[in-house]
Each structure stands twice: as C-alpha cells, then as structure tokens.
Amino acid sequence: MLPDGLLDGLEGLEGLVERFCVLPGAELGLPVDPEEAVLPPEAGWLSRLHPASSAPESANETAATNAVTFMLTSVVGVIAGEQFMDRTFIRVILHTDHDGRAKFREARVPLTERTPQARLSALLPATGYQLRHSPVGFRSSFHCTPQPQWVFILGGEMEIGLQDGSSRLFRPGEHFFSADVLPPGAAFDPKVHGHCSAQRGPHPLVTLFLKV
C-alpha cells in the first residue's frame, strides 16, 4: 500500500501527463522514442532537432503510459530503499585493523524476523553480561578488549579514544561492539594497540557489557 503523500503526488502526475504527452488536440509531445516527437513551431531549436511529425494516437497513448511507468518505478524504488533501511540495524564496531590499531567501522544487521511493527534480527549468541558504574572523572589507560562484547550506554556519556588521537562519544541508548583484541602473537604495545575510555559529562557512566 502506497503512502497518502505518494497517492497525492500521483494525482498530480496525471495532470503532468495530460499536459506534456501528445493527446488528441495537444501540441506538445513527450514520447519515449525521439522519432515520434511532436513539437509545436514555437519550440525553436528543439523542433530542428526532432522535426514535427504526425504521431498516431496509439503512439501517444504508449508514450503517456511509459512516462507514468517510469516515474512510478522511480518513486517505488526510492520507497523500497527506505524500507530496506528500516530493516537493518547499524552496528558500530571497534575492531583491530590489519596494522594492529583499533578503528571504528559500521556493519548492517538484517532485521528479518517478526512483523514490520516489531522487526527482529536472527537470534545472536551471548555468554553473559556485566553492569558497570563509573564515577565522574573516570578514565582508563590504553587497553585491548580481552573478549569481544557489546557495550550499551545506559546512563552518562562514554568517550572512546584511539591511538591516532581521534575519539568518539557515546550517549545513553547508543552502543558499540568492542572487538579490538590483541593480534595473535603480538605483545601489547600501549602506543599501538587498543583504545582508552573515559566518562564525560556531569553524570556517572553506567554501561552494560554483553559477552559473546
């Protein structure tokens, strides 16, 4: 079912087709094939590119139908793209890149279960969870995540700093998947590996760690 706004737009589209497509008695044509173009004398240089001809009524009707079909396909394609966006969950991932440094990236988790009103992902594995309270002023040194885990911010603000000097702030309701583990066989170097975390803002930091 199409949204009400789209239906209103399609009603207006009907008027455009009547205005620009060659119908009996009309003077300006918009057929798909340039060979069938019918332009009035005042069209100027356009009429020299496609000399006027007498397009049959069937060609005019086909042109109008094709124009509407093209516009409908474009609009529905945009709507389908928006619906696809609603069917995925953006997962923020803190990972160890090939150079051994922690970096952020994003990935989509498909929400394919249940109904449009309550979409769910497939069931994902978890081994346990922990809750943490960090007072105002908390800050850690650089460290790697020992075991991949989801980090959900329940209260306060959490800043994650990277070795390149950049940082990212997470507020209540936001998350990241912490997976910047130490590369196999590497010895931890506090100037290369891992991330640091800090409480920010006037309120204590409350987080939930979901182990996977």
Q: Of 26, 16, 158, 183, which Cα lies nearest the Cα of 92?
A: 158
- CATH fold of the domain at 88-211: Jelly Rolls (2.60.120)
pLDDT at 26: 42
pLDDT per position in the chain (212 positions), as tens? Answer: 445 554 455 455 444 444 434 444 444 444 444 444 444 444 443 344 344 444 445 555 555 555 544 444 444 443 344 444 568 999 999 999 999 999 999 999 999 999 988 999 999 999 999 999 999 999 999 999 999 999 999 999 999 999 999 999 999 999 999 999 999 999 999 999 999 999 999 999 999 999 99
Residue ranges covered by each domain of the chain: 4-86, 88-211
Do residues 29 and 54 make contact, with C-beta atoms less than 8 angstroms apart? no
**Which of the 8 DSSP states describes residue 57?**
H
Q: Do the beta carbons of residue 94 and residue 150 sit within 8 Å?
A: no
Predicted local confidence at residue 111, as pLDDT: 95
HEC letters along 60-113? HHHHHHHHHHHHHHHHHHHHHHHHHHHCEEEEEEEEECCCCCEEEEEEEEECCE
